């Protein structure tokens, strides 16, 4: 499944969707947690973020696939040793890549992020992360998978040059079991870095808030009439 650009919303937010009813949203203006599309008021209960400020992975409920010391991702930093959203902060990157030996030679590296089985299904419908470092001209892909291992949807685009962090959020109608972030490029190493990995409840859309307000107003009007 491939995504199709269908529009650009305000605040330079590109909304991308595909036929599987998975929506991907780009936020090229992401600078801090205040720019997150998630409901950050529920941090620690209905919203979770890994910013690597402890120099290691501490987020509950979501973690990289444990593939051993050679193939598991590594936390890098503090900045400027790595490229973090936070000043003097940390990020995470793959430490191995696949090499296609037929010409043209292509390199690919990826992160495999998996939810724990006890995470509530409602919280597993929305994920996001900030790509902070990526080779110029690399193809960036994010694919979501369901509880049966089926592909729910995929985001893919060629990034000519990453001059600032690119935050990408994905919203699925079905619970997400795991998702893969992949970088591919011809002729160069494909290593990339990500920061501010997030999951949980999203901020309601304006239309949802209008419907909620209208419903509350109707209830109040009916109550006054009584």
**Separation of alpha carbons 86 and 126, rounded Å:** 23
Phi (first) and psi of residue 172, to 5 degrees = -120, 145
Contact 94, 192 (CB under 8 A): yes
pTM, 2 dp: 0.80
Q: Give the distance, in angstroms, between the CA of residue 33 and the centroid of all CA atoms in the same chain.
A: 13
Contact 214, 176 (CB under 8 A): no
pLDDT band at 115 (very low <50, low <70, confident <90, very high): very high
Say if residue 78 is preceded by a cis peptide, omega within 30 of 0: yes
Contact 128, 195 (CB under 8 A): no
**Separation of alpha carbons 175 and 134, rounded Å:** 28
Higher pLDDT, 42 or 139: 139
pLDDT band at 215 (very low <50, low <70, confident <90, very high): very low
Range of the domain at 85: 4-225
Q: What percentage of the chain carries pLDDT values higher than 70?
A: 78
pLDDT in tens, 116-157: 999 999 999 999 999 999 999 999 999 999 999 999 999 999
pLDDT for position 210: 39
pLDDT for position 14: 54
Structurally, the chain folds into a number of domains equal to 1
Range in 96-100, 129-133, 188-192, 204-208 the model is least confident about: 204-208
Query: Looking at the predicted structure, is the pLDDT value of residue 20 above 70?
Result: no
pLDDT in tens, 159-192: 998 888 999 999 999 999 999 999 999 988 899 9
pLDDT for position 205: 53
pLDDT for position 4: 35
Locus of tokens 């107003």:
217
pLDDT band at 72 (very low <50, low <70, confident <90, very high): confident
Assign residue 138 the CATH number of its domain. Answer: 2.60.120.260
pLDDT in tens, 192-201: 999 999 999 8
């Amino acid at each position: 499944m491939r995504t199709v650009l269908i529009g650009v919303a305000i605040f330079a937010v590109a909304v991308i969707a595909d036929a599987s009813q998975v929506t991907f949203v780009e936020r090229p203006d992401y600078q801090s947690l205040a720019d997150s599309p998630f409901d950050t008021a529920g941090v620690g209960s209905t919203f979770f973020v890994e910013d690597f400020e402890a120099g290691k992975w501490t987020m509950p409920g979501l973690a990289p696939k444990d593939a051993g010391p050679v193939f598991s991702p590594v936390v890098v930093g503090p900045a400027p040793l790595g490229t973090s959203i936070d000043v003097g902060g940390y990020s995470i990157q793959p430490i191995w890549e696949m090499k296609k030996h037929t010409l043209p030679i292509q390199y690919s590296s990826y992160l495999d992020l998996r939810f724990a089985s006890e995470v509530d299904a409602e919280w597993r419908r929305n994920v996001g992360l900030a790509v902070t470092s990526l080779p110029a001209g690399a193809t960036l892909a994010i694919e979501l998978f369901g509880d049966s291992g089926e592909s729910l949807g995929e985001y893919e685009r060629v990034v000519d040059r990453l001059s600032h962090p690119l935050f990408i959020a994905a919203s699925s109608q079905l619970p997400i079991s795991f998702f893969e972030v992949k970088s591919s490029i011809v002729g160069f190493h494909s290593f990339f870095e990500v920061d501010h990995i997030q999951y949980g409840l999203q901020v309601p859309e304006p239309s949802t808030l209008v419907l909620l307000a209208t419903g509350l107003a109707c209830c109040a009007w009916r109550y006054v009439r009584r």
